[in-house]
Amino acid sequence: MTNEIVKEALSKVMYPGFTKDIVTFGFVNSIEITGNDVHFTVDITSSAPEVGQQITDDATKELKAVGAGEVKCNIKSPTIPEAPTPKARNIAPHVKNFLMISSGKGGVGKSTTSVNIAIALAAQGKKVGLLDADIYGPNIPRMLGIDGVKPEVTGNKVMPIKAYGLEVMSMGSLMEDGQSLMWRGAMIMKAIEQFLRDILWSELDVLVIDMPPGTGDAQLSLSQAVPVTAGLTVTTPQSVSLDDSRRSLDMFKKLDIPIAGIVENMSGFIAPDTGVEYDIFGKGTSGPMAKEFDTEIIAEIPIEPSIRTGGDEGKPVTFVDPTSESAKRYMKAAESVWATIEAVNAAGGVSNESVQPTTPPGVSACSS
């Protein structure tokens, strides 16, 4: 068996649908002959499997007719080139990490958690920003004692307000007291982008973002504007809160946001006179939900009067009473959150650029 004999035999194999053979077309490559065994490659222009199969059958028949032993035909079909993976959009590239703090419903202590987690991260040596993206209920200025403080404007950019070692910005700092916002979805999405692009944040290790309750325009807008490093869900032990928190965790999964854990707020009550803890609302009931979404409860924050008074008076418990039980739990939660952020970065970071809004079956999408 020689190269000439092989080519002569293969010149009798017509390309399916044409009157020219595969040798004349120049499709035959890499002929290897070992004794009477023949291995060769045919580069074809069709991805249809039946074309490759017919060439293989016809070539095997012709080569066997001239005394070939084992015949192996490797068909190489054209493939659709893969589009390069687009880089994650990031309109605030000077911020290293973004932590989205969300809840399925309001009134579960999400803003309190955001404030204390941010302060705990700063206490652990991180450069931290806190963005109050809860457009309709911007409570963070009061919780940090900066209600009434207006930010400095430089050109068409806004300087964040400094408080408790944090850089802070909130819609509450830009509005007049008591002013209502009646905004449609498109306006909320635009505001979220402006908070990221037009605020002169420093080179932050992490920007903690207190989101509005629910799973709507603000969450989708944020995930499309920056690569969110991790998401944290805040809930309370009651079933009505857990039902909504499950939706929040499902949102993180659909947006490809790594879950940093669950903070179970109002988890027990610590009596101020005795220090005894009572489970008046339940405790640890988030466990099955955490297991369902392959995460964990990173803090069970009790009802403690100092948390309420600290929030009302602008004195966060993690800063003014770091030895309290609640402050210790916030600090431990912050350590867990940072470990998640480091793990995400070690794995190559996140990419949320492909996220698209979902429309329920039978409902037509419309723009505001």
What pLDDT, in 10s, does the model give residues 279-316? Answer: 777 677 788 898 999 999 999 998 887 888 888 899 99
pLDDT surpasses 80 at 101: yes
pLDDT surpasses 50 at 357: no
pLDDT computed for residue 282 by the predictor: 67
What mean pLDDT, rounded, does the chain reach?
83
pLDDT computed for residue 44 by the predictor: 83
128 has which bridge partners?
166, 206
pLDDT surpasses 70 at 353: no
Helix, strand or coil, per DSSP, at residue 351: coil
Query: Could you tell me what percent of the chain has a pLDDT over 90?
Result: 43
Q: In this structure, what token pair is assigned to residue 350? A: 């996140």
Class of CATH domain 3-76: alpha beta
pLDDT surpasses 50 at 202: yes
pLDDT computed for residue 156 by the predictor: 82
Cα 302 to Cα 43, 221, 279, 281: the distances in Å are 69, 32, 9, 10
Q: Select, from the ranges 45-49, 146-150, 356-360, the one with the highest average predicted confidence (pLDDT).
A: 146-150
Q: In this structure, what token pair is assigned to residue 244? A: 């909504």
* Alpha-carbon gap, residue 314 to 241, rounded angstroms: 26
Cα 112 to Cα 31, 246, 317, 326, 363: the distances in Å are 72, 20, 10, 11, 36
What pLDDT band is residue 181 in, cutting at 50, 70 and 90? low
Tally Cβ neighbours within 10 Å of residue 165. Answer: 14
348: left (phi over 0), alpha (psi -120 to 50) or beta: left
> 98-346: what fold?
Rossmann fold (3.40.50)
pLDDT computed for residue 183 by the predictor: 56
pLDDT computed for residue 91 by the predictor: 84
Q: Vertex 40, ends 34 and 42: CA angle to 5°?
A: 175
Higher pLDDT, residue 9 or 364:
9
Cα 178 to Cα 152, 161, 290, 338: the distances in Å are 21, 20, 38, 36
pLDDT surpasses 60 at 81: no
Higher pLDDT, residue 304 or 124:
124
Q: In this structure, what token pair is assigned to residue 158? A: 């806004």
Q: Which region among 79-83, 143-147, 200-204, 220-224 has the lowest average model confidence (pLDDT)? A: 79-83
Higher pLDDT, residue 209 or 82:
209
What residues does each domain of the chain span? 3-76, 98-346
CB distance 292 to 265 below 8 Å: no
What pLDDT band is residue 354 in, cutting at 50, 70 and 90? very low
What pLDDT band is residue 265 in, cutting at 50, 70 and 90? confident
pLDDT surpasses 60 at 331: yes
pLDDT surpasses 90 at 175: no
pLDDT computed for residue 184 by the predictor: 57
Instruction: Show the beta-strand stretches assigned E in 164-301.
Output: 166-170, 206-210, 230-235, 259-264, 269-270, 277-278, 297-300
pLDDT computed for residue 69 by the predictor: 92
